[in-house]
Amino acid sequence: MQPRWRVACVRIPRFPIGAVWRNAIDAEKSSTQLSFALEPTVPHPPSPPITPRSHTNDAAPKPPEDGSKAQPKKKPFWDEEPIVLVEGQRGGGGVRAATAAAGRSRIRVGMTLTEAKARCAALIARPWDETVIAREITRASAAFVAASPQVTPVAGAPGLWWIGVNGLDALGGEPELARTLWHIARQWHPQPRVAIAGSCVAARAATWQAGAARWMITPIDDESEYLGQVPLGLIPMDTDMREALYALGLRTAGALAALEADDVERRWGEFGLQAWRLAHGDDPRRPVLAQMEAPRSVVTELNPSVTSTEPLLFLLRSALERLVREVIADGRSIATVALTLTLDDAQGKSAINPRPHTVTREVRLPKPLARVEPLLERCRLLLEKWILTAPVCGLTVAIAATAPLSGDQGDLLDTSWRDPAAAEAAFARLRAELGLGAIVQPALGDSHRPEEEGKWDEASLEVEVPIDAVQDAPVVGLAHRQLESAEPAEVECDQERPRSLRWRSRVWRIHHAVGPERLAGDWWRDPYARDYWRCEEDGGATLVVYRRSDGEWFVQGWAN
Amino acid sequence: MSYVELHCHSAFSLLDGASDPEALVARAQQLGYPAIALTDKHDLGGAVRFAHAAKELGLEGIIGAEISLEPPTSSRLGAQGGRAAYGLTTKDYGLVLLAQNREGYGNISSLITRGRMDNDRGSPSISLDTLARHSAGIFALTGSPNGWVPQLIAADKTDEACEAAASLLDIFEGRLAIEVWDHHLPEERELVKHLIPIARSLGIPWVVTNDVRYVFPTGRAVHDVLACLKHQKTLDEMGTQLLPNGEWYLKSYDQLRRRWQHDEAGLKATLMIAERCKFRLADLKPNLPTFPLPPGVSDDEYLARLVDQGAIERWGKHLDELDPKYRKQLEHELALIKKLKLAGFFLIVWDIVRFANREGVLCQGRGSAANSAICYVLGITAIDPIKMELLFERFLSEGRPEAPDIDLDFAHRDREKVLQYVYERYGREHAAMVCEQITYRGRSAIRDAARVLGFSAEQAGALANLSDRFSAKATAEALRAGMTAQEMAGRYRDHDQRWDEPNGAYSGIKKPNDPMSQPWTAEWLRAAADGKPLPERTNTRPFLSSGKGRRFEERKDPHTRTRPAGKEDHEERRNPVTAVRPVSAESILGQVGLDSNDARVRLIPAIVDGLHQLPRHRSIHVGGFVLTKEPLATVVPIEPASMPDRTVIQWERDDLDLAGLAKIDLLGLGMLTVLQDCLKYIRATRGVTVDLAKIDMNDQSVYDDLCRADTIGLFQVESRAQMQTLPRLKPRNFYDIVVEVAIIRPGPIQGDMVHPYLRRRAGKEEVTYPHPSLEPVLKRTLGVPLFQEQGMQVAITAASFTPGEADTLRRAMGHKRSHERMAAIREKLIEGMRRNGIPEDIAARIYNQINGFADYGFPESHAASFALIVYASAYLRHYYAAEFLAAMLNAQPMGFYSPGTLIEDGRRHGVVVRRVDLTASSWDHTLEVNGVMRVVPNDGNVKVERRGTGREPVGKPPAVRIGLRQVRGLGPAAREVLEKALAEAPFKDIGDFVRRVKLDSATITALATAGAFDTMVSDLPQARQRRAALWRVLEAMRGAAGPLAPVIPKTTTPDLPALKPVEIADADYRMTGLSLNGHPLMHLRELLAPNGIRTAKDLLRNGRDGEEVAHAGLVICRQRPGTAKGFVFLSLEDETGIINVVVTPQKFEQQALLISQTPLLLVRGTLQVEQKVVNLRARTFRALRAKAGEEWAPTHDFH
């Protein structure tokens, strides 16, 4: 008897926040400001009793304070602090993730940072960092590999994994696997959820239904019964369909599954059928053997079929562009490209095999690449030599092998070698060496404050400042060369007008001062009010100084 | 030496000015200006208020405007390429225009009109050609840095700038000055360097302005907020679109002199220009249009003819044949009208009424016009003032300078016909509607404040829900979290003025009465923002003072505008939550989940306070129409309204009297639509024609309904307060209804007239009079003065005032009191009474009574006009309940109660109401007569559909069929589709429906959930019909997969869960706001009854005074009247009726949110039964949950 296929789902709550927080701690270890606990302070609980094929319902680990009765007060775990991850450096894109503590302050994903802060003045905001999160996902995936060779992080859902279960009976079976996974996951959060079921959809639903239990194993023989009780909300489907099902009084996956397939198809079409199949536990998704990259391919059908390879080049280019973009995003480069042609034998010359068949050939590169042009050239050569035995009705471009992005900048004088991916890789190395924020590029700021007229943004090869924007920008020009931050100075005045100033241990005699030019604002966040003077000193330099509303003087910079 | 500010924006430069016109004038007077100009951007909306304030303070108020000039077509003279100065756009160029004389004013007004009418809404501009045609009588300034000339300089086109200035000089024939400014900005100084030489080269003056946007530096924050709203951005996103500092305030001569001390010519020029601008708004004397008359007949003669004809219609006799009392009154009125030259005005109004009658639009005059016998005979009003002994002088008297106030009510659905008739009759050049300046109130202010600070709409909405509905200031006070107003005001100080004082920064002299003399430090501000205890402000500098409370002194300035009494009342009204004083700011903020420690949260109150009563946008007045003989645009700018085919002037109602414009109010009244429709329905269903003018006004069965307070849906007497009074007042004749209408008003309640009157009516208190001579005046109101006319008659009778003097007395005692005037009037009144032998102590008492009463009394004529409609509605509801209910439902939204409550009430009165059904319903609610006839209304038209050949059962009451309009989520598009399909034929089955109607799945689901398809699946039990119908509709909607694969519908339906009764009710309420399948309370009854929770019917019939009871109901109304001293009144509806609940302020405070937001309440308390009026005085509250759709039931809260 063939064993049933089973899958485990691991869900680590608010995983991205933990990842970013951990990274921040690593980066700023010396800072006393970030002194929250990195890891959960939950004492390691004893192994739960294992009952074969039972729903394991261990009590959830007690809150951290339980274990700290007689101990000095421990620093709170990050999830107990009001922290959010926000889109963009200044949170302009809104909150993308919030800790449990922030959630208790009614901070929700999608809010702006201002809204969120209005609900919790003590809120800590950190930017959502894809790189860091991806790195942490990889780290966690690697950790889960210790329990099973089949580990797949769920795309678009950081903190969720599907893990293969089959073939591990000798190592203690499902209960042991669940326990192991749970303990591994606790490195990231004290209350992870682990569930094992006969399909991905059921396993994922079980993580939500596990409640206070650490893990949940659905009975093998009664999968459909279990899934039947799952709320409809846990079955992926179109919103309209879900609302219609609710209006029909259907509330569970079982109720959906009880409908006849053709009834569902008549009302919601193919997508409805997909949901219906999921409600039956018929989920095509599978965890795969652990690998750091997912196979990437672009499949294109041709209708009508083509008899030469020339039209394929257009498809090839766009496919390669997409694949290159994707591998770069993963920090990889392409080592091997596989081209598969689907030949329409029924219409072609060969009558031997009337069914369409595919032919695959590979382009193995001497050196991994992450640029379209050279890849296209090599693929073109392959296609040109390809003798077609039938019209082509499909093209599949797949990345058969990848390698880490080397960061090779190539020959900068050769335009074909200007590889953004290589530059990004170089930047990444520099960042790793010098820290985040080390690579910057100039950008215009929209502010009356001279120090904010220009700014340094995190360098990105995708950001380009339009020339028009530069030309249209207001030119205030109070200081052409600004100090990193304004420095205090002592100024002597005559009728308000500066006559001399002492700055950096030197006295500057002013023979002509123009001003005051008054700038004041930002009353809603960081109010300021300054009277600026351009002071020409005897040596010929023009210092830009200002007096604050409290009478203190500062040097902002100088003009030359 | 002095200075005149010639370039000032008030808040009427919408979103580019942060101060009231009055505040500008008051500050100008403080600063010693001899004059000041108001130059709002394309707007004269503040001109009347400004002129009035200037006149009151003895300042010369120069009227002007800033217009946007379109860039000339010659590219050489366009400033493209010039950079914008601190966020100003270069799309149009600003130009300041000042009126030198009446012609100049007319031209400015015309230019604004053209700019507004000829361009898209919100972006007015004027071409040079148009400007040239309307330049006479105007003195122009070249404008701020966004002006044409400065912009050319900024674009390095100095020669072209000079040429542009020369062009303007030609257009204005020398009446031009080059404007310069200094807000401490290098860009401006650079421009000024070039502007002054241009002025000198052209031989014209250069003139200093400060391009003022707010009165004090504190106004900067509000201006920034308004700028954000203008650009639809948050403060964080604005960047350089905000002004770079806070220097755009009204400055003193000394401040300006220091800047321009090297050459004071620019300052002197302000005086010279002010001298030339002599036009004052008081010089505006618009005339009414001439009514088209037969040849050789004057308007007075024509009016007399009409009066004569009207006398025949009303009384069956010619004027000269009438009873002397009638004849004398009509002749008196005609003589006065002739003397005041108002015959044309009356003819215009008569003509409008005639048109409405011709078109079948129900129409009736209301208000003081009902005091006029001429209005009665002309058909303008429906009350015989002579028979009712109403005082004509309340309407019109010799001493009143302005035209009388005539308000006409029309059936609201057809009012547009009348409006368009007036436009066509007098021409759009001479007619326009009055605007209503919508100002910031509590909710709007908090929404916008939160928005610009970056909060979400959800947070803003939550805060707004807990805010004062009417007053932004009250909202700000309630929300101030730990920081006082003055502390918050300090945040938006930019620079203290000492920097502008002579002799350096630290030797300034504090200006007297200067609220902004308090300095600030950044440390202090940061501490404030961080919510830390504010550091003590050390008064280290000799000129500093605390300045506490000054910001509010600014608002309390006696010269700030006095709002009309009604609006003042609103100002005093409070939100149910914020009005409760002990509720702390933290508590309010906490309720909406805001952290009071957050720096931005702490800023909200200050911004809200700053927005208090500032104009927000312009709307159309409910009905005010102005007509002029001269082109109206030369009197006041006209602009297109948001509604198609409407134009509005830039002045609102209160401005008209001061400007001498006559207004006619053409109002829409929902109840007239109901009556109009109801009469049509009755004619169609029963073949009966009811003439409202001839109904029996003494039908005691109708009065029985009123005495029982059985008045849901009736005009004016359906509110909780009216229903409480009716059983005590026990109306038995028409005049009793007049009293009933008048007595439940804020005035009589505040004036403590209600209870004395009711006690006397019940015989519990002796009827007395202040003096025997006043008995004839006060007898019909049992010695209690209720009506304004009685106040006047007391003065006439007791002090021998003439009617005109009595009207002057009434008006003097009204809103705009002055001590001097009141003292003079008192002396005259006392003296008059003394002469008539009334002892001085009694005379003083009478005076005090009249004085106190002046604010509160209600016009008797107005009450009488409304009483007619009250009786008509009560009569129709009593005899034709089904038709009345259908008319009420089709006229929604209107009245006090939701459709659900109206239907519940209708069913209690025996009306059969049928559910919404796609095989039987139309869009509107229809009437069905025994299955043989259907009356289908549609926007006022009635179509009668006959089914079968049976005889119509004429006279039998019809049933009301709920219309599809009641289903939520059906928008105009769905309406159009459904109406079109229904016009062809009724739907037969689901397939037929899906074939003929293309609607989205959400709409179809809504219809199915509402039960509209139920009849089409009648083969199933009722509990399964809705879901089965949806199941089939979903299939039918998807249709065939292709022409070769037709869908063969399955006849079976899967075993979908049947709906429980409570789920059906829930679906009903969710989709239609009402349920014919049972009130939500019905589903809880079996739980409630064993627990001693009694029904409304039981309490109303068997309840005893003082009994401790428990009652549960759906809250259909929550009220907190301004006159009720914090008491809250709830109306709880169950399946048997409605009970009123009284909540003391203390109880309300304890559970404000529960009471304000819970749909189903269980209330325990003490029953109060007095004269058949039953109230439940609440002691405890508990929320109930029936899950029967109660949260979808509409409520009428705090209106």
Q: Which residues contact B165 (CB under 8 A, 6 or more apart)?
A: B142, B149, B176, B178, B198, B199, B202, B204
Report the b/e string of A16-25 with b at 16+ CB within 10 A: bbbbbbbbbb
pLDDT at residue B204, as a whole number: 95
Closest CA to B422 of B375, B355, B345, B358: B355
Peptide bond into B1049 cis (omega under 30): no
Residue in this structure with the two tokens 């008051």, named with its chain if needed: B26
Radius of gyration of chain A (CA): 31
Please judge whether B240 and A448 are an interchain contact, meaning their C-beta atoms are less than 8 angstroms apart.
yes
Quote the percentage of chain B above a pLDDT of 90: 47
Please judge whether B521 and A549 are an interchain contact, meaning their C-beta atoms are less than 8 angstroms apart.
yes
pLDDT per position as a tens digit, B165-180: 999 999 999 999 999 9
Joined tokens for residue A313: 């080049």
For residues B689 and B125, what is the distance between their CA atoms, to the nearest angstrom?
Answer: 56
Neighbouring C-alpha atoms within 13 Å toward the C-beta of B502: 9
Instruction: Give me the phi and psi of A309, to 5 degrees please.
Output: -85, -10
Please judge whether A119 and B593 are an interchain contact, meaning their C-beta atoms are less than 8 angstroms apart.
yes
Higher-scoring residue by pLDDT: B335, A462: B335
Closest CA to B501 of B466, B541, B468, B529: B541
The pLDDT-based confidence of B568 (bands split at 50, 70, 90) is very low
Higher-scoring residue by pLDDT: B199, B561: B199
Query: What residues of chain A lie within 8 A of the CB of B459, using their CB?
Result: 115, 118-119
Sheet strand arrangement including A151-153: A151-153, A160-164, A7-11, A193-197, A215-217
Please judge whether B1047 and A266 are an interchain contact, meaning their C-beta atoms are less than 8 angstroms apart.
yes
pLDDT at residue B820, as a whole number: 66
> Is B185 an interface residue toward A (CB < 8 Å)?
yes
Please judge whether B1030 and A247 are an interchain contact, meaning their C-beta atoms are less than 8 angstroms apart.
yes
Give, for B728, the enclosing helix (H) or strand (E): helix B720-729
Query: What residues of chain A lie within 8 A of the CB of B521, using their CB?
Result: 549-550
Which range is least confidently modeled, A61-65, A551-555, B729-733, B869-873? A61-65
Query: What residues of chain B lie within 8 A of the CB of A244, using their CB?
Result: 1001, 1005, 1030, 1034
Which range is least confidently modeled, B528-537, B740-749, B775-784, B884-893? B528-537
For residues B410 and B357, what is the distance between their CA atoms, to the nearest angstrom?
Answer: 10
pLDDT per position as a tens digit, B429-475: 999 999 999 899 888 999 999 999 988 888 888 888 777 666 777 77
pLDDT at residue B462, as a whole number: 80
Which range scores top for mean pLDDT: A407-411, A463-467, B140-144, B362-366? Answer: B140-144
> Is B1042 an interface residue toward A (CB < 8 Å)?
no
Higher-scoring residue by pLDDT: B815, A262: A262
What letter would DSSP give residue B562? P
* Pairing between β-strand B206-208 and β-strand B941-946 as defined by DSSP bridges: unpaired
pLDDT at residue B54, as a whole number: 94
Query: What residues of chain B lie within 8 A of the CB of A475, using their CB?
Result: 83
A-contacting residues of B 524-543, CB under 8 Å?
525-526, 529, 531
Q: Which residue in B has a C-alpha nearest to residue A449's C-alpha? A: B244
Do B752 and B733 touch, CB atoms closer than 8 A? no
Closest CA to B57 of B559, B654, B655: B559
pLDDT at residue B550, as a whole number: 29
- From the candidates A549, A550, A553, which should be mutated to test the interface with B, based on the most B CB atoms within 10 A? A549
Please judge whether B598 and A117 are an interchain contact, meaning their C-beta atoms are less than 8 angstroms apart.
yes
Higher-scoring residue by pLDDT: B1146, B165: B165
> Is B598 an interface residue toward A (CB < 8 Å)?
yes
* Pairing between β-strand B1137-1143 and β-strand B1173-1183 as defined by DSSP bridges: parallel
Instruction: Give me the phi and psi of A306, to 5 degrees please.
Output: -115, 150
Which residues in chain A show pLDDT less than 70?
A: 1-4, 28-75, 88-93, 210-212, 222, 288-295, 303, 346-356, 406-429, 431-433, 435-437, 459-480, 560
Closest CA to B299 of B337, B325, B272, B243: B337
* DSSP three-state, residue B59: coil
Q: Which residue in B has a C-alpha nearest to residue A266's C-alpha? A: B1035
pLDDT at residue A425, as a whole number: 59
Q: Which residues contact B559 (CB under 8 A, 6 or more apart)?
A: B22, B25, B26, B53, B56, B57
Q: Write down the ipTM of this complex.
A: 0.74
Sequence letter at residue B517: S
Which range is least confidently modeled, A141-145, B299-303, B350-354, B904-908? A141-145
> Is B454 an interface residue toward A (CB < 8 Å)?
yes
Q: How far is B523 from chain A (nearest CA, A)?
A: 9
Sheet strand arrangement including B959-961: B913-914, B959-961, B926-929, B933-938, B941-946
> Is B233 an interface residue toward A (CB < 8 Å)?
no
Please judge whether A523 and B453 are an interchain contact, meaning their C-beta atoms are less than 8 angstroms apart.
no
> Is B242 an interface residue toward A (CB < 8 Å)?
yes
> Is B1034 an interface residue toward A (CB < 8 Å)?
yes
Q: Which residue in A has a C-alpha nearest to residue B238's C-alpha? A: A446
pLDDT per position as a tens digit, B1089-1131: 999 999 999 999 999 999 999 999 999 988 887 777 778 899 9
End-to-end CA distance of chain B: 54
pLDDT at residue B179, as a whole number: 96
Please judge whether A525 and B525 are an interchain contact, meaning their C-beta atoms are less than 8 angstroms apart.
no
Sheet strand arrangement including A83-86: A95-98, A83-86, A124-127
Neighbouring C-alpha atoms within 13 Å toward the C-beta of B882: 24
Query: What residues of chain A lie within 8 A of the CB of B519, using their CB?
Result: 549
Size of interface A-B (CB pairs under 8 A): 181
Please judge whether B1031 and A248 are an interchain contact, meaning their C-beta atoms are less than 8 angstroms apart.
yes
The CA-based angle B68-B72-B74, given to 5 degrees, is 165
Whether the per-residue pLDDT at B530 is higher than 70: the answer is: no
pLDDT at residue A52, as a whole number: 34
Between A263, A493, A518, which is nearest B1054 by CB? A263
Query: What residues of chain A lie within 8 A of the CB of B1047, using their CB?
Result: 266
What letter would DSSP give residue B232? T
Q: How far is B235 from chain A (nearest CA, A)?
A: 8
Query: What residues of chain B lie within 8 A of the CB of A523, using their CB?
Result: 220-221, 224, 491-492, 494, 525
Neighbouring C-alpha atoms within 13 Å toward the C-beta of B857: 26
Whether the per-residue pLDDT at B50 is higher than 50: the answer is: yes
